[in-house]
Chain A
Amino acid sequence: MMHFEFHVEGGNFTKAGAASSQLKKILKQLNVDPKIIKRIVVALYEAEVNVVAHAFQGDIFIDIDTEKIGIKLVDQGPGIADIELAMQKGYSTASSSVREMGFGAGMGLPNIKNNSDELKITSEVNVGTTVEFVTYLNQ
């Protein structure tokens, strides 16, 4: 079992993707199937961008064992009022400045769902959101 942690700064799109790049490097070194790496990295990238676009800051906790990869993102931010609505494709609360940068198309959460095997979202308005997802390695 290996554990990794990363910090995410809200509003800094220059650094968005740093954690997913790091995780990709780790998974390649661990000889994980490239197709599974792709799913995990895409899901984490989406989740990372969500924190950058919406929250003040967040932390990423990653647990890796030979069976599965578990990823948990805990952010301090506005929270999600209606998670079911946020899960719908194309729904976004992103500001127009975020959209201008090419983010905020409302594909984030649905994309995480498609690229993971288990997804759990808990949120409290004006406190923050926790996104947890698991991807199994022996599919």
Chain B
Amino acid sequence: METGNFHHALKIREDLCIGCSHCMVVCPTEAIRVRNGKSVLFGDRCVDCGECFRVCPVSAIIIDHDDFNHIFDYKYRVALVPAVFTGQFPEDISLRQIHSVMLELGFTHIYEVENGVEILSRAINDYTESHSENKPLISSFCPAIIRLIQVKFPALVDNIIRLKPPLDISAHFLKKELLTLGIPAEEIGIFYVTPCAAKIAAIKDPVGESTSPIAGVINMDFLFNKVYRKVKQQNGQSCAIPVSGKLSGKATCWSLTNGEAGQVGGRCLAIDEIHNVIEFLEKIENEEITDIDFLELRACDESCAGGVLTTSNRFLSVERLRNHADSYHENDEPAHPDAFRKITSESEYLNERISIDPIKPRSILKLDENMAEAMKKMEKVNRIMQLLPMVDCGICGAPTCQSLAQDIAQGEGSIQQCIFIQKIMEQKGEMSLDDSVEVMQSIWGFGKTNKYRDIKGI
């Protein structure tokens, strides 16, 4: 089985997995199979969208992040926090409280990711004006979408805007600021608090960029629990003062649906949730929809507020952030004297580093590199499809009849995995009952097939 060489933040814990196949059914790129009673991930197909993580009933799918104590490897410990983190808390807990608790937990600096929007929003508008040949231009914001386009819509890779998202821009700014203060690079640890798995994968294995200035990643649900507990215990007292300036309304809402599309010139459209995105990209690829200038595409429903690592209800998070944005006035809270400078004071430095390399397609759909071979395999797939029942029951350990047929054509499955074929083969005397049970056990493990031997006791 091909596992691929791509870093994935999503891991399946074999010791916890009960082989229920929920994840296999929802995966939008058909990257999961069940073998020996456990889910198995095809690494080259996975785009780290996290749909599997959402449905796992036993929390066997984990999102691999850095140990929190890893921050203490650095003298200067910067938390790079997206605005949706604030949206996790109830309205009565202030940003000041959240930030002061984070400082108590060990961070020395806190910086909001969306500060980078001030640089990016200008760059995007310049970019869309000078790259009209690749329309519709697609935002590079959501790393799961970039990967989705690479594997499923290879013809559209050139439509992705080759500009860094706010996260990377802010990280470059922070590093520069701290270096300017005379702090040695090895003492700076920038830690990103992530609402999803895809951002982790993007940091550990960047697409279109060779290195990332980010030292580590902390899962948002983990930090939320840590901070919220301390806030509760302190009963509203706060001791430290946050040193960052307030985000503008535009920046606060950037990671929400329509956050980008609402700021870019021309005809813009915002689409969230990965299946909606797939449906729309199909039409874009066929040129059924034309004349769109800019597409904001996000893998999660309600964008980052619906990230798999968020705790709060996504609609409430959106409400809180929109309220923040609406109440923003440029001068209502003077920046602390120790605060970082405005990110725009380094516009030139950041604009020099804002581009990413061309994004390469890596299609998962091709049956073979060689077209003649691919045609042979397709004919085989078509022949197998004639035999399969087309009910997509998943009993074979593959999500659909089509995917089983492709697995067989690729030498990674056998037609006996199909329960319908098994029954017919048994009836015709071509397969023994024992053999058919053995096949079931190779897919679903011993436990699931063995417990039915006690059926008389019911």
Contacts and interface: CB of A to CB of B under 8 A. Distances in A.
Q: Do A and B bind each other?
A: yes
Interface of A: 2, 17, 20-21, 24-26, 28-32, 34-35, 37-38, 41-42, 45, 64, 66, 137
8 contacts: A25-B365, A29-B367, A30-B375, A30-B378, A34-B155, A34-B363, A41-B285, A137-B371
B206 interface: no
Contacts of B371: 30-32, 66, 137
Contacts of A34: 154-155, 361, 363
Contacts of A37: 155
A20 B286 CA distance: 7
B401 to A, nearest CB: 15
A31 B369 contact: yes
B374 interface: yes
Contact of B286 (A2, A21, A35): A21
B286 A41 contact: yes
Given A2-B378, A29-B367, 13 more contacts: A21-B282, A24-B286, A25-B365, A28-B363, A31-B363, A31-B367, A31-B368, A34-B155, A34-B363, A38-B155, A41-B287, A66-B372, A137-B371
Given A28-B365, A29-B378, A35 B155 contact: yes
Interface in B363-400: 363, 365-372, 374-375, 378-379
B454 interface: no
Contacts of B361: 34
B288 interface: yes
Nearest to B155: A34
Given A31-B363, A34-B361, A35-B155, A26 B286 contact: no
B380 to A, nearest CB: 12
Interface residues of B, number: 22
A133 to B, nearest CB: 16
A17 B287 CA distance: 10
Q: Tell which of B361, B367, B369, B375 has the most Cβ of chain A within 10 Å.
A: B375
Contacts of B368: 31
Contact of B378 (A17, A26, A137): A26
A2 B363 contact: no
Contacts of A2: 375, 378-379
Contacts of B374: 29-31
Nearest to A36: B155
Kindly list the 10 A-B residue pairs having the minimum CB-CB distance in the complex, ordered from nearest. A34-B155, A31-B366, A28-B365, A30-B374, A34-B154, A42-B287, A66-B371, A29-B367, A38-B155, A45-B286
Nearest to A1: B375
A30 B366 contact: yes
Given A37-B155, A38-B155, A30 B286 contact: no
Interface in B251-286: 282-283, 285-286
A22 B370 CA distance: 20
Contacts of B378: 2, 26, 29-30
Contact of B288 (A17, A26, A35, A38): A17
Interface in B337-381: 361, 363, 365-372, 374-375, 378-379
Nearest to A25: B365
A30 B365 CA distance: 8
Interface string B7-50: 00000000000000000000000000000000000000000000
Contacts of B288: 17, 45
B26 to A, nearest CB: 21
Interface string B407-440: 0000000000000000000000000000000000
B363 A24 contact: no
A17 B286 contact: yes
A64 B154 CA distance: 21
Nearest to B369: A31
B261 to A, nearest CB: 21
A2 B374 CA distance: 11
Contacts of A38: 155, 285, 287
B30 to A, nearest CB: 13
Contact of A29 (B154, B283, B286, B365): B365
A81 B371 CA distance: 40
A66 B375 contact: yes
Contacts of B155: 34-35, 37-38
B23 to A, nearest CB: 24
Nearest to B283: A17
B186 to A, nearest CB: 43
A30 B368 CA distance: 7
Contacts of B365: 25, 28-29
A28 B368 CA distance: 10
Interface in B287-324: 287-288
Nearest to A4: B382
A47 B260 CA distance: 36
A28 B31 CA distance: 17
